[in-house]
Structure 1
Amino acid sequence: MLELKNYINGEWRTASNPDTNEVFNPANGELIARAPRATKEETEEAIQVAKQAFESGVWSDLSAQERAKFLFKIADKIEEMYDELVELEVRDNGKTKGEAGFDVADAATCFRYYAGLITTPDGETYHVPEPVQAMVVREPVGVAGLIVPWNFPLLMSVWKIAPALAAGNTIVFKPAEVTPCTAMKLFEILEEVGIPKGVANMVMGKGSIVGQTIAESKDVDVVSFTGSTEVGRCIMQAASGNLKKISLELGGKSPNIIFADADFETAVDYALFGIFFGAGQVCSAGSRILVEESVHDQFVERFIKRAKRIKVGPGLEEGSEMGAIVSEEQMESILKYIEIGKQEGATLALGGKRLTENGLDKGYFIEPTVFTNVTSNMRVVQEEIFGPVVVIQKFKDEAEAIQLANDSDFGLAGGVFSQDGAKALRVIKKVRSGITWINAYHPTYVEAPWGGYKQSGIGRSLGKYGLEDFQEIKQININLAVEPVGWFSN
């Protein structure tokens, strides 16, 4: 069992609060770690340490090339620890080894990407009237508060830490309470490669204490949060105290549009992947499948037949294709939504129950679940369930497909399947979502921006946009003729 600690000013510390957080393997209920629950005072200390480290220039004054060297070393260490990190991520989160393996590999890629990006030219000069030379430079914001969710514990951490450090900021990082294990391993790597003391700080604990303190602090210059829209609103309100920069990657209820002329088996396969990857605990999950009415019944039949074959089981067990729900609390929330769907009159076409047979009773497993005959006013259609639950709606034509796709408070992701390239592009341009695919669903790349429209958030992660979230833009004007301006009379 792991005894987790906070990391402040280059030191591993046990929390002063005796109330520790117990971390369980969601596949079997095994106690795998105890984590500290930091106090407001400990969080404020970490913020002050980060502020002092930033002002000292121990990190921000390094050249981009020097910072990049550290990031490349971190990527190398992640790859060296691949097997250990994969197993720990599975035990901590409940996902399958395949899913965790992707996360670990992508984490290394992300550090390498930002190591390269930070060393590329990024300045600008402007041709303004003589004798002035105008230019724009990018500088670190200062202290970055980073708060991550439980569904991608390692990868979401890296999506924030890599660009924040690359830009020259210092950080105060809070992992999710239910999945803090790989975060500690990541900070062990940061320590091992020699990140200067005070630059990277980690504080574990409750969102209502640690997260709130980070968001409210006037000494935190930017806060980046990934999680629910409800909590995002609280972060946004708390951050208004000093009008700090914010980046919010929030919820989704994403449409996956299947036209009759789509390659049928490809559409079914990606639709399954879109919702059941990660047991549906993915913000961009294709949780609303919209199918053209002429192929609706055929699609539903094939989709259900395939979904029945999905092997649900512990992530470390050979052959498991869909793992556990992250916690009992999240499982109960999903099961509650399934009951709501039935009460609202939707047809439960598949699943809907907790799985307890074949040794699954000690963990938190839910069957792949499909609702049909749904209407847009139903809660299961409008609200993010964050589990292996999908609703399937039919549409008559292109216009109705677009209308249904955009009938949501969210706008994170969306997909279109059609072999008519012009139609597919026409429709995807009308879908009000930030991450979209044509004839695919879910592939992501660190080079491209990640984020959404409407209540799915503010700002973007990844790509050059993810770096800009952690940078300030400064205008510099240089007078090349040093003489009095002569505006006022002598």
Structure 2
Amino acid sequence: MHQYIAGQRSRGSSGNPYDVIDPSTGETVETVELADADDVDRAVAAASTAFGEWSRATPGERSAVLTKLAGLIEAEAESIAELESKQTGKPIRLSGEFDVPGTIDNTAFFAGAARELAGKAAAEYSPDHTSMVRREPIGVVGSIAPWNYPLQMAAWKVLPAIAAGNTIVLKPAENTPLTSLRLAELVTEAGAPAGVVNVITGTGPVAGEALISHRDVAMVSFTGSSPVGRRVMELASGGPKRIHLELGGKAPFVVLDDADLEAAAHGAVAGALINTGQDCTAATRAYVHRSRFSEFVDRVAELMAAVRLGAPLDPATDQGPLIHRAQQERVAGFVDRARGYGARVVVGGEIPKTDELIRGSYYAPTLIVDVPQDAEIVQREIFGPVLVALPFGSGAAHQGGNDPDLDEAIALANDTPFGLAASVWTRDVHRAMHATRAIRSGCVWVNDHIPIISEMPHGGVKASGFGKDMSSYSFEEYTAVKHVMYDLTATAAKPWHRTVFRDAPPNEPHPLAGA
């Protein structure tokens, strides 16, 4: 039973089964019954009913639930990590050392942040009134999470929503719903009322669109591709509903002439190959100063060639398969078309054919050079283990003063519709500060690429969406700001009533008039 509604597992009503596939073997992990619009109605009704109680819970009560939830996830960390690897194909080291611990830390953070939902302190902004600002939950949140980080993305949707007093209906990707369902069960076990967190396992065109357009859903949060994000906006506009979008990325990786090349090469390989490149913030476009370009390419190729592909549950595996055959074919298509317009594949660029890997949707770590800036492989999101390296600059080292090479690198970095993440590699603090200011992106790392922390916001600009996950800034998405104003005069007739009643008391001069 793969729906979680009002605190209980249930079957989907569509009558359509769906196999959750282990992408490393092609074997079925579980078969789920998909949801339809009737299941969405039931889930939204459960969330609407639970909203009354949960929205009135004190910050301390909500914090206590989240604190207990963090402990429950930690107690099941090993089994949750294994389940995550089975449904996604990601290496157990990634699930066990990044995904699950990150989710536990995120939960612990929001347990504390739930008690800090303060508005502006009361004050007299008018001589006759006291004003205050309240932050209040919005209502039922309809969230759609992607398949690349099922557990973490579910947590990023659920935690700020319920910490702020909302209730939620989450639709995970139908091919990776298993850890999201377990997370929802643990929320109830931690003490949240039934219906606070509901999970609908269904397809986007059926369950997803029914959830987004549901009249009782007050807010939509979506993580996924930019084209689907546009469809989400179209559907939500009929409400209208508040919208939070975290969409695609094409992260630039800028290596200046003074960078530590060994650090940059390691960072590029790790940043490009994490989660088999199926990461919106993955390093995908390396812009390397011409004086260091050959050295960088050689070292990256050497490191990529040493990456071990293998079974996800083997602790020795560095890179697992792509999520499914269709994604494998998509990545291969990008690389094959690049070859067609003259690109050189330095390493990789093929589907492994060994007996160990042929059953899964694996693709070799790939480094590509000799492509123009406007090439498809530079401009479009691939979502696979492919890094494209392009040179920039005159070839001479920077000598101080004007920095046209850095300006060129920044222009190239910004030459994309996306703006989710970027990194710059340099030993010069002034160049680093200039780059972090000028690169148009929701996050810019200096001498690193990928790390995220619960206390800092995550989200993009341009075609990468708007709004923030994680951190206290996420509460801006999940709360409504209400102004409350108290009269201090205790009189029936106010001076401003003269706009309607001619015998009202005269207005006093404004305190700053004539100042």
TM class by shorter chain equals over 0.9
Aligned match of 2:106? 110
Counterpart in 2 of 1:15?
12
Query: What residue is the counterpart of 2:507 in the other structure?
Result: none
Asked if the contact 2:352–2:363 (Cα under 8 Å) also holds between the matched residues in 1, the reply is yes
Matching residue of 1:426: 434
Question: Which among 156, 172, 177 is matched to residue 175 of structure 1?
Answer: 172
| Counterpart position of 1:95 | 90
Matches within 5 A, 1:242-257: 242-257=239-254
* Alignment correspondent of 1:222: 219
Aligned equivalent of 1:359: 356
Q: What SS is found at the alignment partner of 1:144?
A: strand
Matched letter for residue 90 of structure 2: K
SS at match of 1:450: coil
Match of 2:37 in 1: 40
Greater shift, 26-35 or 161-170, is seen at 26-35
Alignment-derived partner of residue 484 in structure 2: 476
| Partner Cα separation in structure 2 for residue 266 and residue 11 of structure 1 | 49
Tell me what 2:286 maps to.
Answer: 289
Counterpart among 196, 199, 203 of residue 199 in structure 1:
196
User: Greater CA deviation, 382-391 or 21-30?
Assistant: 21-30
Cross-structure match for 1:65: 60
- Tell me if the contact between 1:218 and 1:241 (Cα under 8 Å) persists in the aligned partners: no
Task: Measure, in 1, the Cα distance between the counterparts of 2:117 and 2:378.
Answer: 46
Tell me if structure 1 keeps the 8 A contact 2:285–2:388.
yes
Q: For residue 122 of structure 1, what is the amino acid of its counterpart?
A: A
Q: 1:473, 1:345 → 2: CA distance?
A: 55
> What does the per-residue CA deviation read over 1:368-410, in whole Å, with 9 as the maximum and x for residues that have no partner?
0111011111100000000001110010011110111000000
Shift of 1:162: 0.6
Contact 1:356-1:365 at 8 Å conserved across structures: no
1:40-439 equivalences under 5 Å are: 40-54=37-51, 57-101=52-96, 102-120=98-116, 122-124=118-120, 125-396=122-393, 397-439=405-447
The number of residue pairs the alignment matches comes to 485
Q: Deviations over 1:79-112 (max 9, x none)?
A: 0001100111111111111110111011111111
- For residue 106 of structure 2, what is the amino acid of its counterpart? C
SS at match of 1:385: coil
- Structure 1 residue identity aligned to 2:100: V
**Structure 2 counterpart of 1:470, one-letter code:** Y
Preserved contact between residue 139 and residue 471 of structure 1 (Cα < 8 Å):
yes
SS in 1 for 2:116: coil
Deviations 1:110-146 (A, max 9, x none): 1111110111261213431222000101000000011
Instruction: Give 2:71's aligned amino acid.
Output: D
State how far apart, in whole Å, the 1-side matches of 2:196 and 2:304 are.
47
- The alpha-carbon deviation at position 52 of structure 1 amounts to 2.5
Q: Deviations over 1:447-476 (max 9, x none)?
A: 101011100001111111112211000000
How far has the Cα of 1:161 moved from its partner? 0.3
**Deviations 1:174-205 (CA, angstroms, capped at 9, x unpaired):** 01111111112112212322321222111110
Change in CA separation of 1:31 and 1:253 when aligned onto 2, cut-off 3 Å: same
**1:32-86 CA deviation, whole Å, 9 max, x = no partner?**
11112111121122112212322xx211111000011001111100000011001
C-alpha displacement of 1:485:
2.9
Where in structure 1 are there 5+ consecutive unaligned residues?
A: none
Output the CA distance in 2 between the equivalents of 1:87 and 1:477: 53
Determine helix, strand or coil for the equivalent of 1:60: helix
Which has the greater radius of gyration? Answer: 2
Q: Deviations over 1:414-470 (max 9, x none)?
A: 000000111111112111001110011111001101011100001111111112211
> Does the 8 Å CA contact 1:46/1:203 hold for their aligned counterparts?
yes
CA RMSD of aligned residues (A): 1.1
> 1:454: which partner in 2?
462
Is this contact kept in 2: 1:51–1:219, CA < 8 A?
A: yes
In the alignment, the residues of structure 1 paired with residue 123 and residue 381 of structure 2 have an alpha-carbon distance, to the nearest angstrom, of: 46
Unaligned runs of 5+ in 2: 394-404, 504-515
* Alpha-carbon distance in structure 1 between the residues aligned to 2:81 and 2:46: 31
Which amino acid in structure 2 is aligned with residue 158 of structure 1? Answer: A
| Cα distance in structure 2, aligned partners of 1:155 and 1:32 | 20
> What secondary structure, in the 3-state scheme, does the structure 1 residue paired with 2:169 have?
strand
Asked if the contact 1:59/1:199 (under 8 Å) is kept, the reply is: yes
Structure 2 distance, partners of 1:100, 1:475, is 44
CA distance, structure 2, for counterparts of residue 245 and residue 174 of structure 1 = 17
The CA distance in 2 between the partners of 1:485 and 1:395, in whole Å, is 71
Distance 1:129 1:467 in 2: 28
Q: Is the 8 A contact 1:145 1:173 kept in 2?
A: yes
Deviation, structure 1 residue 484: 1.5
Matched AA of 2:482: K
**Under a length normalisation based on structure 1, what TM-score does the superposition of the two structures give?**
0.97
1:158 CA drift (Å):
0.3
Deviation at 1:483, TM superposition (A): 1.2
Give the secondary-structure state (helix, strand or coil) at the position aligned to 1:128. Answer: strand
> Could you state the TM-score of these two structures normalised by the residue count of structure 2?
0.92
Deviation at 1:266, TM superposition (A): 0.6
What letter is aligned with 1:175? P
Q: Do the aligned residues in 1 keep the contact of 2:441 with 2:460 (CA within 8 Å)?
A: yes
Distance of 1:261 and 1:368 partners within structure 2: 27
Q: 1:358, CA displacement in angstroms?
A: 4.1
* Letter of the structure 2 residue corresponding to residue 70 of structure 1: V
Structure 2 CA distance for aligned equivalents of residues 126 and 409 of structure 1:
44
Q: In structure 2, give the amino acid aligned to 1:149.
A: P
Question: How far apart, in 2, do the equivalents of 1:357 and 1:317 lie?
Answer: 17
